Amino acid sequence: MSKRKKNGITALADEIIEQCDARHPADQLLRQALKNEKEMLPRHKAAVVERVYTYFRWKGCLDAERTLNRQVRMARELDADFLSYAGKIKSEVLRKVVPEWTAETMKVTREWLCQIQRPVTLWLRAPKASGKRVELAMKKELQPAGEGCWRNTFRYFGKEDLFQMSHFQHGHFEIQDLASQFVGNFCQPEPGENWWDMCAGEGGKTVHLADLLQQKGCVWATDRAAWRLQRLKRRAARAKIFNYQSAPWDGKSKPPFRKPFDGILLDAPCSGLGTWQRNPNARWTTTFEDVKELTELQFKLLESAVARLKPGGKLVYSVCTLTKQETTRVMRRFEKAFPEMEPWTWDGTKPAVPEVCELDFGKPVHGYTVQPDQWKSNGMFVARWRRRKKA
């Protein structure tokens, strides 16, 4: 690589590192900046991304008094040592890859810390109709996740830019993390049911639920951010999903739909600790205060959900975080406040955990934590209940 090219890459990456804050996450800044670099080669774009993320992965171990260039060099050395043999990194160093307050909210294990320093695993999900086609076309680069509801889930080992593939552009597969796919499967929607996806965002789970309904039944998708719902529409069109409706909803006003639902998914706004492998910059912008505030919002959204459930209706709560405040504590508070809701345990007849993880629930569960080091995925907490048929 010429010196000029190298300087261009370094300058662009460092500009992004300096602009990054809670309102301007690295992935968003990178997407915008790289879109404008029409002449830049893909491998040079990859080098920009690598510099930015390596810095944020190791930021807590770096000397902030040094120049940014020096810090990045240090981060790269740590990264190389870690990737050659994770045991080279002492526990007291590794502990600094996440902020100190994390220990007040969850059990910080070496396994978790190592996992979030590793390259991200890519997972795909093909709609029922195109699973076989995708598997045949990309056979060498795919590892199937399992049977049953995991039949069309694959780990991707290839090096191609998946967004540019014609199979992706024609909606033959979605890029969707394994933990997010688990949420859709844990909802167990039955064809013909009506579901409400309360915080649908860009529609990852809406599209999955709609597919599981096999075009029989409907998913009503709401979100506070109208721009996210626009992306949801593009995603649904690509996946050729039509059994959904969408409307903005701020979580406070009356929901835009009158009908009671057979099922509701609350994929709630959360502190996102479960995504710290994918978004290492978020480790340095999320605070313990955020965690406390979010638990109130999560509980309020759960309250709104209960009011909209049919007798016997199913409620699924998910958060891509691992803090006890937003997971087990919200679950316990909810169960105390709403005796009309009963735990809806996984019956164990279908493979709930993908075979590729070599895990099992062991016993029937209605609340479960997806551990990133066991699943090679985001961290996620999911709980589910049913509204009792009689009060």
Ligand X SMILES: C[S@@+](CC[C@H](N)C(=O)[O-])C[C@H]1O[C@@H](n2cnc3c(N)ncnc32)[C@H](O)[C@@H]1O
Q: Is 206 exposed, middle or buried (0-12, 13-18, 19+ CB in 10 A)?
A: buried
200 is an interface residue for ligand X by CB under 6 A: yes
Cβ neighbours for 201, distance < 8 A, ≥ 6 positions apart:
223, 225, 228, 232, 267
Nearest by Cα to 270 from 237, 239, 293: 293
Is residue 123 within 8 A of residue 181, CB to CB? The reply is yes
CB of 382 to ligand X, least distance (A): 12
205 is an interface residue for ligand X by CB under 6 A: yes
Distance CA(76)–CA(54), nearest Å, equals: 7
CB of 161 to ligand X, least distance (A): 21
- The backbone region for 3, taken as left when phi is positive above 0, alpha when psi lies in -120 to 50, beta otherwise, is alpha
Stretch that binds ligand X, among 47-55, 75-83, 193-201, 348-356 (CB under 6 A): 193-201
Longest CA–CA separation in the chain, Å: 73
x/- string (CB under 6 A) for ligand X, residues 274-303? -----------------------x------
263 is an interface residue for ligand X by CB under 6 A: no
Q: Binding ligand X by CB under 6 A: which of 14, 177, 193, 202? A: 202
CB of 188 to ligand X, least distance (A): 17
CA–CA distances in Å: residue 71 to residues 12, 51, 78, 90, 116: 16, 11, 11, 19, 20
x/- string (CB under 6 A) for ligand X, residues 50-69? --------------------
Q: Binding ligand X by CB under 6 A: which of 201, 274, 313, 372? A: 201
x/- string (CB under 6 A) for ligand X, residues 123-162? ----------------------------------------
Q: Which is nearer to ligand X, 235 or 324 (CB)?
A: 235
Q: Binding ligand X by CB under 6 A: which of 174, 177, 211, 267? A: 267
174 is an interface residue for ligand X by CB under 6 A: no
25 is an interface residue for ligand X by CB under 6 A: no
Q: Which is nearer to ligand X, 52 or 221 (CB)?
A: 221
- Residues binding ligand X: number (CB under 6 A): 18
Q: Which is nearer to ligand X, 201 or 280 (CB)?
A: 201
For 105, the 3-state DSSP assignment is coil
- Number of residue whose CB is nearest ligand X: 251
326 is an interface residue for ligand X by CB under 6 A: no
Is residue 340 within 8 A of residue 308, CB to CB? The reply is no
Q: Which is nearer to ligand X, 171 or 201 (CB)?
A: 201
CB of 25 to ligand X, least distance (A): 13
Question: What does 116-166 look like in DSSP terms, one character per residue?
Answer: TTSPPPEEEE--GGGHHHHHHHTGGGEEE--SGGGTTEEEE---S-GGG-H
204 is an interface residue for ligand X by CB under 6 A: yes
Give, as ranges, the residues between 66 and 85 that touch ligand X (CB under 6 A): none
Nearest by Cα to 372 from 114, 73, 83: 114
Q: Which is nearer to ligand X, 63 or 250 (CB)?
A: 250
8 is an interface residue for ligand X by CB under 6 A: no
Q: What is the CA radius of gyration of the chain?
A: 21
Question: What does 201-232 look like in DSSP terms, one character per residue?
Answer: TTSHHHHHHHHHTTTSSEEEEEES-HHHHHHH
Question: What does 180-207 look like in DSSP terms, one character per residue?
Answer: HHHHHHHH---TT-EEEETT-TTSHHHH
225 is an interface residue for ligand X by CB under 6 A: yes
Q: Binding ligand X by CB under 6 A: which of 76, 96, 228, 240? A: 228
CB of 203 to ligand X, least distance (A): 6
Residues contributing to the site for ligand X (CB under 6 A) = 180, 199-205, 223-225, 228, 249-251, 267, 269, 297
